[in-house]
Amino acid sequence: MRAATLRRAALGLGVGAAGAVYLWNTNPHEPGHLLPGCPLRWATGLLCPLCGGTRLAYDLLHADVVAAFHDNAALLVLGVPAAAYAVGRWLLTGLRGRHYRLRLSGRAGAAVLGVAMAWMLVRNLVG
């Protein structure tokens, strides 16, 4: 279990590092890059709860937290810490020789969905 966890973590780190290197040199704030766009925004013109995530990552790579907050405040304040917690817990549990699977209760899933929908509504109505 520990060796598998280390292999998966190394693979994830390698893929993430490759993506970060590409993103470091590709400004998503400017047109003409090879980064995928949001399909919901393309189809409807509405911002989804994750819209701005690529720009947020670019800004964090360049240590511009204010711009990252402007790109997607909810993702920065709620999503980044939640992802860091989940990955950290998965890694620590795997290194201890156990299996960790993130599971949300029905209420937690409903809360996540509710926050995402509220954020989508606010950012599309307020601008």
Is the confidence at residue 127, as pLDDT, over 70?
A: no
What is this structure's pTM? 0.86
Cα–Cα distance, 89 to 100 (Å, whole number):
8
Is the confidence at residue 76, as pLDDT, over 70?
A: yes
**Tens-place pLDDT, residues 77-99:** 999 999 999 999 999 999 898 88
| 116: Cα within 13 Å, side-chain hemisphere | 11
Both structure tokens of 42: 């393309």
Q: Which residue has the tokens 């509405």?
A: 46
Q: Measuring CA to CA, which residue among 85, 77, 98, 94 is closest to residue 11?
A: 94
Neighbours of 53 (CB within 10 A): 19
